[in-house]
A and B are shown apart, each in its own frame.
Chain A
Amino acid sequence: MRRLLAAFVLPAALAAGAAAAVKNPETFVYAAAADIDSFDPAWAYDTMSHNIIANVYEYLLDFRGSGTTVKDLTAILSEKVPSRANGLISADGLTYRFPIRKGVKFHDGSLLTPEDVRYSLLRFMLADRDGGPSQLLLSPILGLETTRSGGKPVAGLYERAAQSVRVEGGSVVVRLHRPFAPLLSVLANFGAVVSKPWCAAHGQWDGRAETWMKSNDPAHEDVIPNELANGTGPFRLERFERTQSQVTLARHDAYWRGPARLARVVVKKVDEFATRKLMIQAGDADVINAQLIYQPQVQNLEGVSVIDDLTALEAPTFLSFTFKLDPVANPNIGSGRLDGSGIPPDFFSDKDARKAFAYAIDYAGYIRDIQRGKGRQAAGIIPPGLVGRRTGPPRYRLDLRAAAEHMRKAWGGSIWEKGFKASIVFNTGSPQAQTLCQMIKKNVESLNPKFKLDVRSVQWSTYLEQTQGRKIPLFIGGWGADYPDSHNFAFPLAHSAGYYPGRQGYSNPQADKLIEAAAVEQDEAERARLYGRLQDILDEDVPHVPIAENVRYRAQRSWVKGFVFKPTFPDMPYGSYYYDLSKSE
């Protein structure tokens, strides 16, 4: 068939090949597989959204090249990287001074001021949407994991925050609650700077003490809408098209480091991999989302380069359980009862039910068939390269007999007797997650004919909403580093105030204590020991089942120049820092 097609199209293909110059030389097109949740830096906490934010807004600091350590940091909106040596970090490690860069312009033409930086950091902390990123700064600066108590904003918090983040002359001074070494790394990925007057003019918090509570834990509809953005970054938001899930960025000509070489960047969701592949083949896309399972299909495409064996700083792929589901209007739990046609909202609060799933996963099959042998079964939640990563044998392996035993014990034997029906959910456009869900379904359903698992896909933004709303009993999760430190994996995956436990309803005070102790521990060996104990607890509690460590690759047109793999940059290796890129033969 291939020969037949080749013969049919040869003359035209030759003509087309002869004219294969750089297509749209000033426009970069990324054919993505997921849609975008939000461009508001105080709301967004997912890789797709942050990829756009990191190009439209800027942070105080950034990592140079592929670096991930403090010495790799470079100054962006701060004129200098604070250190003890330059006197910008106090001797007690509690005060950081950021001299704010002058002459930086927002996309609307206004000049960046230290007050904008202060406002941005305060807004980031005080918005504190449920399941959002605010805790990343709240914790080190105010010593809090949340701004609410009993569901209501805590009075007096603004005053505390305003005391901790101050403008002094041309600098912003941040006073920490306790020493926190990764602070600079956090500020290289979070706390993007917005314009205070612009935000206030667009219905956002006006920066006053009297009004902050109204903006606390905002609804999605109350943050900066996706049609608007005003940062200092190298690209401005030109357009967001909801129906086509497309974002168009245009060059910010007044960018302080000089305009980008690319005039435009288009990030477009294309559902079908086959279409994405044809787009990169034809040169209409410069990079595409192509998971490991698809690598053989793009490996030898003419005009396409593959950058292989990239290891982003990310947690292993894992399966997560929601302990306390929201039953209201929830299509994922069937009848909502343990009657064989659904599950009760607290189905996965039973440890044996979770362990049964952990024993029903074909880890080796996943690595062999889906990761094409490149991955490795994970023994814990901390990725390679960080303190506390486990290298010993994993606690769980495929053992259907053990899975059946645990299912017999779960819910006093009711599950085994009555059966259950629930949904396992993954985000659309992830064939790896889809296949994994199907493998789990097959094995779990093989335990007992009364067990039914529906595999469902939802769009990325819906996935985020539904996991946050505790609507999904079982889901495939992942976690890219916010900053390169083990705490950034232990906290969001295992602390009761963390991102995932908050969504799951998981809490273990002992795990919380270990995570908090490890965060301030200076001795690396002791930290590793604390994380080891934490992972023993997680093995027993099974809030997540770590499956396999990931290896990635990037397929891009050969004419794309300047790509730098940044292990902590959002949506790596598909998304990029577009300022680095250009297109030429």
Chain B
Amino acid sequence: MLRYILKRLAFLPLVVFGVTALLFLCLQFLSPEMRASLYIKDPRQLSQIESVIEKYGLRKPMPVQYALWLKEVAHGELGYSETAKMPVSEAIRAFFPATFELTLISFIPIMITGIYFGVLSAVHRDKFIDHFTRFVAITGYSLPSFVLGLLLLMVFYGKLHWLPPGRYTLETDMLVHAEGFRHWTGILTFDCLLNGEWAAYVDVVKHMLLPAATLLYISVALLLRITRSSMLEELSKDYVRTARAKGLPENVVIYKHALANALIPVVTLASLLFIGLLGGVVITETVFDFPGIGRWGVQAAQQLDVPGVLGATMLAAFLFVTANLASDILYAVVDPRIRVGD
């Protein structure tokens, strides 16, 4: 296993190289002046844009520019985001924790719900539960997230006053900015726990429930459908028939044998979902007034803030590579037959 992981890790720089090269290639469609904004760390430099172009050889051949750009990126210099009014690296540090928390609180329920109901649907094929889960899945998949988000807000906030939008209430706002509150991790839920502030913890979680529920409903559909079809395929195979003939309990047949084999496409999809969530969920963050990386990325795109867009894209690419690696490792865990070079 360790050898397999090391081999996969060895691919990582190549993938990063590919992603950055592609990004850089796309940048060549912009004028040198626009590209110069990537190297600007302070708006005052805008008045010296020609010297920036000269310094980074923005009129030189692409490989030269690429090497210089990579050097800057390696030093964490991603330019200045006009949208965030701060350097891109700082903006990522500021916006990412909120998205990370939202991902954490959404992803596990998405996985549990998707797999559980996918299996249930497959096992009870063409029964009521199958039709019901399929109906839920189809509506979830076809419902625009802003419609669902607004509906949930109208009911659980507008009518019931239970789950408000935003990051936290005014009380928590005061608390987390008080002098005594230590920001150990930058992740608010963890920090509330580490500071022993249970009420604040509950408040922060409460503020994430509606966006998380929206994400759950719109994301679970795909997972449920994939689990169901994969399970149906496995359940029709000979080894399942044999297991049943041997008199193994149905739960063992389903969860130990069939599900284990059905998980490969599920793991692939799960990793993509995870990346999608971490990369920011724009509409959900906007509707719920949640200050995450997706909202910033879209604002940057709307305002043609090139460094901001590239920063968000780089982050998404990095997350993709990492999650892809994690899913590759999980493949090997789920199915020991999978090895590099096999």
Contact = CB atoms under 8 A, between A and B. Distances in A.
Interface of A: 5, 8-9, 12-13, 16, 24, 27, 29, 219-221, 239, 242-244, 248, 264, 266, 268, 270-272, 274-275, 278-279, 281-282, 284, 327-332, 336, 428, 456-459, 461-462, 465
Given A275-B165, A329-B33, A9 B159 contact: yes
B44 A282 contact: no
A16 B160 contact: yes
19 contacts: A5-B154, A16-B161, A219-B43, A219-B44, A239-B177, A242-B85, A242-B86, A264-B170, A271-B286, A274-B150, A274-B153, A275-B288, A281-B158, A282-B161, A282-B164, A327-B33, A329-B33, A459-B299, A462-B303
Residue picked from A275, A332, A461, most chain B C-beta under 10 Å: A275
A109 B24 CA distance: 54
A143 B155 CA distance: 60
B185 interface: no
A220 B43 contact: yes
A336 B32 CA distance: 13
B33 A284 contact: no
B157 A282 contact: yes
B64 to A, nearest CB: 20
Contact of B155 (A9, A279, A284, A456): A9
Interface in B14-65: 31, 33-34, 36-37, 42-44, 46, 49
Nearest to A266: B170
B83 A462 contact: yes
A549 B155 CA distance: 38
A101 to B, nearest CB: 32
Given A27-B170, A465-B82, A221 B94 contact: no
B134 interface: no
A220 B31 CA distance: 26
Interface string B59-96: 00000000000000000000000111110000000110
Given A242-B85, A272-B286, A328-B33, A12 B159 contact: yes
Given A243-B94, A272-B286, A275-B165, A329 B160 contact: no
A376 B176 CA distance: 49
B228 interface: no
B29 to A, nearest CB: 12
A28 to B, nearest CB: 10
Given A12-B159, A16-B160, 10 more contacts: A270-B165, A278-B154, A329-B33, A329-B37, A329-B46, A329-B49, A330-B33, A428-B299, A456-B303, A457-B302
Could you say which interface size class chain B belongs to? Answer: 35 or more
A221 B43 contact: yes
Given A242-B85, A266-B170, A329-B33, A274 B287 contact: yes
Contact of B159 (A5, A219, A242, A331): A5
Contacts, number: 104
Nearest to A246: B173
Contacts of B94: 242-243
A46 to B, nearest CB: 15
Interface string B296-327: 00010011101000000000000000000000
B79 to A, nearest CB: 12
A328 B289 contact: no
B167 interface: yes
B199 to A, nearest CB: 16
A275 B287 contact: yes
A62 B185 CA distance: 47
Contacts of A243: 84, 94-95, 98, 291
Given A13-B159, A278-B165, A331 B83 contact: no
B303 A458 contact: yes
Nearest to A19: B161
Given A13-B159, A282-B164, A458 B302 contact: yes
B31 A270 contact: no
A339 to B, nearest CB: 14
Nearest to B302: A457
A8 B153 CA distance: 14
Closest A-B pairs by Cβ, 3 of them? A331-B304, A329-B33, A9-B159
Contact of A329 (B31, B84, B158): B31
B37 A279 contact: no
Contacts of B150: 274
Contacts of A331: 34, 304, 306
Nearest to B150: A274
A225 to B, nearest CB: 11
Contacts of B166: 268
Contact of B167 (A24, A244, A330, A458): A244
A27 B171 CA distance: 10
A428 B295 CA distance: 13
Nearest to A327: B33
B170 A24 contact: yes
A329 B287 CA distance: 32
Contact of A16 (B84, B159, B167, B306): B159
Contact of B291 (A220, A244, A275, A465): A244
Contacts of A457: 302-303
Contact of B302 (A27, A242, A284, A456): A456
